Amino acid sequence: MTTLAIISKGKDEEVRVTLEQFRGRQRIDVRTWFRGEDGKMHPTKQGCFIRPRHLPEFCAGLNKALHALSEKRRAW
């Protein structure tokens, strides 16, 4: 597993974007992680896997969201 990004959601929670190998195929995992009683970070069921072939569409959707939010901020 290769961690590509970590987005903090507070002291004990974060979203991680990782590149993983599963059954011989690569996939991108976007998942919430939490700090357990042992002090280590553990994955939750909250998240999704993205196949590499769907990554361009996923990124396009995120770019549209970013653009829409930027437009709203200008209106404020």
Domain spans, the chain = 2-75
- CA-CA distance, 1 to 68, in Å (whole number)? 32
In this prediction the pTM is: 0.82
CATH of domain 2-75: 2.30.31.10
State mean pLDDT over 47-71: 94
Going by their DSSP bridges, the two strands 13-22 and 41-50 should be labelled as: unpaired
Token pair recorded at residue 68:
């829409």
pLDDT score, position 74: 67
- CA-CA distance, 31 to 16, in Å (whole number)? 6
Write the pLDDT tens digit of every residue in 3-48: 999 999 999 999 999 999 999 999 999 999 999 999 999 999 999 9
User: When comparing pLDDT for 10 and 72, which is higher?
Assistant: 10
